[in-house]
Amino acid sequence: KGNKTNILPDFLTGGLADFSEYNGGLRGGKVKVRAKIEEEDTKTLVIKEIPYGTTTDSLIDSILKANDKGKIKIKKVVDNTAKDVEIQVHLASGVSPDVTIDALYAFTDCEVSISPNACVIINEKPVFLSVNDILEYNTKQTKKLLKRELEIRKGELMEKLLFSSLEKIFIENRIYRDIEECTTWEEVLQAIDKGLDPYKPDFYREITQEDLVRLTEIKIKRISKYDSFKADELMRRLEEELKEVNYHLRHLTEYSIKYYQRLLEKYGKGRERKTEIRAFDTIQATVVAANNAKLYVNRKDGFVGFGLKKDEFVCDCSDLDDIIAIRKDGKMMVSKIQDKLFMGKDILHVGIFRKNDDRLTFNLIYLDGASGRAMVKRFQPGGVTRDREYDLTKGTKGSKVMYLTANPNGEAEIVTVYLTQGAKARVKVFDFDFATLDIKGRGAGGNILTKYPVRKVQLKMEGVSTLGGLDIYYDPVVGRLNTDERGQLIGNFLGEDKILVCYKSGDYELTGFELTNRYEPNEVLLIEKFDPEKVLSAVYYDGGSKTYYVKRFQIETTTLNKKFNFITDHRSSYLKLISTEKQPQVKVLVQKGKAEEEQEYDLDMLIDVKGWKAMGNKLSSHPVKEVQLISSKKAEKSEKESEKADESDELEIGSTIDLSPKKDGDEEQLGLF
């Protein structure tokens, strides 16, 4: 038909595959294949399908090697594989299942990369083609073969029709009697040919000597028992088949499609796609790597690393991390973690450096060596090059850091500044709030804190974040959270905020808003910022009674990362729809006798709010064919009225307020008097 195709590989081992870089199977393309990993509980992961090219033994070996290297933290691996693959991975205590899944993909054979290379022989030469081109070539070749088969069959049918007609004429017109007095073979053939002369214009080709010979071979028994009706029936069937063959030749494309459809019906059962097509997210190894080392620092001598076990402990880390250090002279450096690394003497701050971390903010007060002034600034590290020094001061001789804090969420504290006794300033002690400063780049010189000599700076009060909440988005394609505005905005998150997730299985779950969280996109029915005051309205199908139920409830549990089932536990039960609107409406298609009828319900009017374990009420007394959530008109109306009310609350100087009672359409107000 000329339509473009997009054929993607399928693997017998199943699993998940990302074909975004497949490139049609051409050289240079790449396919990422992952194992199918499910979270059985907070301490156990189960691998149900493995990537193509691996075995259960090789996969388990790669997991154990990653554990030995400290990339992941697990207790043990149990292989329960029989007919189907089942590998249980038991996690160490306190380890996040979501982070471990990412780590398995990053450091083990749970994710493999396959490089396709489609090569075929054409005209005795190897040719590299895409699988779509190969499919098109083979399809056209098959179409040619089908055409040739039809042409051969057409020829066979026309020959059968021709000889059946000759036979009928030969017998019914008694041409065989004309050869009784012939004395030679040539005279016999001439007599038959002469008898056929009146009918030759009706034949599609000339009558050959071979045709005449075949007529002489008809046995006397057949001539004596010749049935004209049966002969006509045979010719009619041949003509119908010939008509069908001619139709297929005129509509060869449709005939070829039906041919492939017959192949699919005959051989397709049991050969359905096993590998699920997915879009994979990019996993940063440094983020998901388990902490397999400890970071130490010798501030005075300027050494940092995980081999300085006699010096000051900083934090847990992995051997893939980068570290950031800021010295007293105002120099900043980022380097790859090592066993022992020199980063300059008099280190004031050292920690793990996360690339693209737009929350980490440093509050800095330094003495400018040239002017003698105390300068103050707030900055973020930004993009850096490893092992390169960056000056956080103006770079003048004698500059030094007087106060420094690292704030992971942009906190701004209040400090007390003490001037020297010999300073000419009247006020020698004053407070400064870092929240009054904007966050700028690391190269900014900063603002003047004071022109007088500073004796010391002390923390007075811990601050709060000035960055505001974090906008969290959910990408339904990969089932991950992000801050890059991909997918659906869930909300603005701070501190202890949580995410509510409802699944098609009838479970709900509360999670944090960590970007390492994983959600199965095909199972998520609702995901939004959790509000404990909101009421959930759900319609679910009960597999036991084969009936739709409706229930309304509030989330009463507080446990994170644990699923709670709020529908019946029958294996055929499933959640049809769920909403957190105040007045949700549904459109229901019910069967009333032999007729179908559409009805609309306000769920808040059907049932009161009950406990989350309650079964609920039947949605309808009639059999339900379909249920669909529609936008709540009442909710929209109340929102508009609320917006208008908010606008009306904004009064300006000189505005007139009308306090007289309304007379038109305000029945409730009039009824009060």
Reply yes or no on whether the pLDDT at 104 is more than 70: yes
Q: Could you say which DSSP state residue 533 is in?
A: T
Query: Please, what sign has the CA dihedral across residues 299, 302, 303, 305?
Result: positive
pLDDT digits (tens, 9 = 90+) for 172-185: 777 777 777 777 88
User: Which of the residue ranges 23-27, 268-272, 412-416, 638-642 would you say has the lowest mean pLDDT?
Assistant: 638-642
Angle at 142 between CA 136 and CA 144, to 5 degrees: 105
pLDDT digits (tens, 9 = 90+) for 447-489: 999 999 999 999 999 888 888 788 899 998 888 898 888 889 9
Q: pLDDT over 90 for what percent of the chain?
A: 43
Cβ atoms of residues 566 and 612 within 8 Å: yes
Strands (E), 84-221: 87-91, 111-114, 119-122, 125-128
- pLDDT for 551: 92
Amino acid at 632: S
Q: In the chain, what are the domains?
A: 16-122 (3.30.1360.40), 131-250 (1.10.268.10), 291-465 (2.120.10.90), 480-636 (2.120.10.90)
pLDDT digits (tens, 9 = 90+) for 512-568: 998 888 898 889 999 999 999 999 999 999 998 899 999 999 999 989 888 999 999
List C-alpha distances in Å: 291 to 258, 286, 352, 355.
59, 10, 12, 17
Over range 184-200, report the average pLDDT. 79
Residues 6+ apart with CB under 8 A from 358: 380
User: How, if at all, do strands 439-441 and 374-380 pair?
Assistant: parallel
pLDDT digits (tens, 9 = 90+) for 399-452: 999 999 999 888 999 999 999 988 888 899 999 999 999 999 888 989 999 999
- pLDDT for 548: 92
Over range 385-391, report the average pLDDT. 92
Cβ atoms of residues 401 and 366 within 8 Å: yes
667 — pLDDT class (breaks 50, 70, 90): very low
Residue 13's nearest CA partner among 273, 278, 280 is: 273
- Could you give the CA distance from residue 650 to residue 664 in angstroms, rounded to a whole number? 25
- pLDDT for 514: 87
- Could you give the CA distance from residue 436 to residue 666 in angstroms, rounded to a whole number? 51
Please count the residues of the chain. Answer: 673
- pLDDT for 208: 78
- Could you give the CA distance from residue 366 to residue 373 in angstroms, rounded to a whole number? 8
- Could you give the CA distance from residue 452 to residue 428 in angstroms, rounded to a whole number? 9
- pLDDT for 668: 39
Angle at 267 between CA 262 and CA 268, to 5 degrees: 90
Within 336-408, residue ranges assigned H as helices are: none
Over range 40-53, report the average pLDDT. 91
Q: How many CB atoms sit inside 10 A of residue 415's CB?
A: 21
Q: Could you say which DSSP state residue 200 is in?
A: G
- Could you give the CA distance from residue 511 to residue 529 in angstroms, rounded to a whole number? 10
- Could you give the CA distance from residue 607 to residue 548 in angstroms, rounded to a whole number? 14
663 — pLDDT class (breaks 50, 70, 90): very low
Q: How many CB atoms sit inside 10 A of residue 559's CB?
A: 10
Amino acid at 176: Y
- Could you give the CA distance from residue 166 to residue 203 in angstroms, rounded to a whole number? 9
- Could you give the CA distance from residue 181 to residue 372 in angstroms, rounded to a whole number? 142
598 — pLDDT class (breaks 50, 70, 90): confident
221 — pLDDT class (breaks 50, 70, 90): low
- pLDDT for 109: 93
- pLDDT for 317: 87
- pLDDT for 27: 85
Q: What is the 3-state secondary structure (H, E, C) of 91-124?
A: ECCCCCHHHHHHHHHHHCCCEEEECCCCEEEECC
Please tell me whether residue 288 adopts helix, strand or coil conformation: helix
Reply yes or no on whether the pLDDT at 673 is more than 50: no
Residue 71's nearest CA partner among 98, 34, 106, 117 is: 106
- pLDDT for 30: 92
Amino acid at 97: P
Two structure tokens written together for 356? 């693209």
- pLDDT for 209: 80
Reply yes or no on whether the pLDDT at 193 is more than 90: no
Q: What mean pLDDT is reported for the chain? A: 86
Over range 278-301, report the average pLDDT. 82
Two structure tokens written together for 164? 């059946």
Please tell me whether residue 294 adopts helix, strand or coil conformation: strand
Residue 380's nearest CA partner among 358, 396, 395, 400 is: 358
- Could you give the CA distance from residue 463 to residue 115 in angstroms, rounded to a whole number? 52
Q: pLDDT over 70 for what percent of the chain?
A: 92
pLDDT digits (tens, 9 = 90+) for 115-161: 988 888 988 899 898 898 888 888 899 999 999 999 999 988 988 88
Over range 197-205, report the average pLDDT. 79
Report DSSP letters for 495-525, one per residue.
TT--EEEEETTSEEEEE---TT-B--TTTEE
Two structure tokens written together for 60? 């388990």
Residues 6+ apart with CB under 8 A from 615: 542, 549, 551, 568
665 — pLDDT class (breaks 50, 70, 90): very low
Reply yes or no on whether the pLDDT at 110 is more than 70: yes
Report DSSP letters for 440-461, one per residue.
EETT---EEEESS-EEEEEEEE
- For residue 528, the surrounding DSSP H or E stretch is strand 524-529
- Could you give the CA distance from residue 591 to residue 608 in angstroms, rounded to a whole number? 26
Two structure tokens written together for 502? 């409802």
- pLDDT for 658: 52
Over range 263-267, report the average pLDDT. 90
326 — pLDDT class (breaks 50, 70, 90): very high
User: Which of the residue ranges 30-34, 268-272, 329-333 would you say has the lowest mean pLDDT?
Assistant: 268-272
Cβ atoms of residues 22 and 30 within 8 Å: yes
Over range 610-635, report the average pLDDT. 82
- pLDDT for 666: 43
Residue 336's nearest CA partner among 352, 321, 318 is: 321
Report DSSP letters for 234-279, one per residue.
HHHHHHHHHHHHHHHHHTHHHHHHHHHHHHHHHH-TT----SEE--
- pLDDT for 670: 35
- For residue 588, the surrounding DSSP H or E stretch is strand 585-592
Reply yes or no on whether the pLDDT at 652 is more than 60: no
Residue 446's nearest CA partner among 389, 384, 402 is: 402
The larger pLDDT score, comparing residue 215 to residue 253, is at: 253
Angle at 338 between CA 295 and CA 365, to 5 degrees: 60
508 — pLDDT class (breaks 50, 70, 90): very high
Over range 175-199, report the average pLDDT. 77
